[in-house]
Structure 1
Amino acid sequence: MFRPGAPLEEIEEDVESIITELVHELGRTAEADPEPAGAEERAYIKAFSDARANSAGDQAGLLATAIGRPNLAEALIYLNRRLDRMDLDPQDPAGIIGIIVRLAMDGLWVSDILDDTRFSPAERRKITDILTGMTYLTDSHLEKLEAQAARR
């Protein structure tokens, strides 16, 4: 990813390139999903699950650079904002699940950077499997869950 002693401009180009490629990969993965509903979120889960395989130093460097220079992450920011607008559409109540799933995966990714031993592979798989299952929730399923929660 970054070579030792690389000039800031080179690091910025690397970060921007990595994030742009990530956004393209998310699109390709979502388009290949046979079930369109929730496909973007399942692609997000897959992409950020795979991120753990990268070295912690690279991921920490990527996160630090993107935080310090958010303009480098514009492609991902734009994608998330577009998906958020779609997911907050009042005509699609279950869309909110997409936001929850992406936020959870963002948190898991940062958690991996801070402590990659926090969850065993089996525990992590359980977390991502449940998040993946959530992407298949329909409006009627969500209404039932909301009704159950209201009774508590």
Structure 2
Amino acid sequence: MFRPGAPIEEIEQDVEAMIIELVHELGRLAEADPDPIGAQDRAYIKAFSDAGTNSETDQGALLATAVARPNLAESLIYLNRRLDRDNLDPKQPSCVLGVIIRLAMDGLWVSDILDATRFEARERTRITGLLTALSRVSDGQLGTMLKAIEANGAGTKG
């Protein structure tokens, strides 16, 4: 990923270029999805599903550099903020699941970086499969789930 002994400016350019490419890849994956509803969420799942095998880049170095210099991740930050605004539209209640999906995938990605053996392939498939299914939940289905949760008393007591 980075040339040994590379100056910080070169490393920053490499990181910024990788993040910009990631944003473009998210767009390509979403456009290729035949179902536009939840396509960006499914693209995020695909792009972040396995830090160890999903990319040729050194994911740990990418994360460390982006955290230390968030300005390098502006394109991804902008994309997430735009998606968050769209997903938090009160007229479309199920879209909030997009925020939850992206947060879960961010967590899985970081978990992979910290401990690549945490989940077996079967477990990872189960996790990403559930998140993919959530990307297809309609407002009506979410309403039914929330009513069931409320009826069971779950989530109402702190």
Taking structure 1 as the reference length, what is the TM-score of the superposition? 0.96
- How far apart, CA to CA, are the structure 2 residues paired with 1:142 and 1:55? 34
Q: Once the 2 structures are TM-superposed, how far is the Cα of residue 31 of structure 1 from its aligned partner?
A: 0.9
In structure 2, the partner of 1:91 is 91
Q: Number of aligned pairs?
A: 152
Structure 1 residues 143 and 118: CA distance shift in structure 2, 3 A: same
Structure 1 residues 133 and 58: CA distance shift in structure 2, 3 A: same
Task: Please list every run of at least 4 consecutive aligned residues from structure 1 whose deviation after the TM superposition is greater than 2 angstroms.
Answer: 54-57
Gaps of 5+ in 2: 153-158
**Deviations for 1:20-50, whole angstroms, at most 9, x for unmatched residues?**
0000010111011110010000000000015
Identity of aligned residues (%): 64
Query: Aligned to 2:148, what secondary structure does the other structure show?
Result: helix
What is the alpha-carbon root mean square deviation over aligned residues? 1.5
- How far apart, CA to CA, are the structure 1 residues paired with 2:97 and 2:75? 22
Taking structure 2 as the reference length, what is the TM-score of the superposition? 0.93
Greater helix proportion: 1
- How far apart, CA to CA, are the structure 2 residues paired with 1:31 and 1:56? 23
- How far apart, CA to CA, are the structure 1 residues paired with 2:40 and 2:22? 13
Q: Once the 2 structures are TM-superposed, how far is the Cα of residue 3 of structure 1 from its aligned partner?
A: 1.6
In structure 1, the partner of 2:155 is none
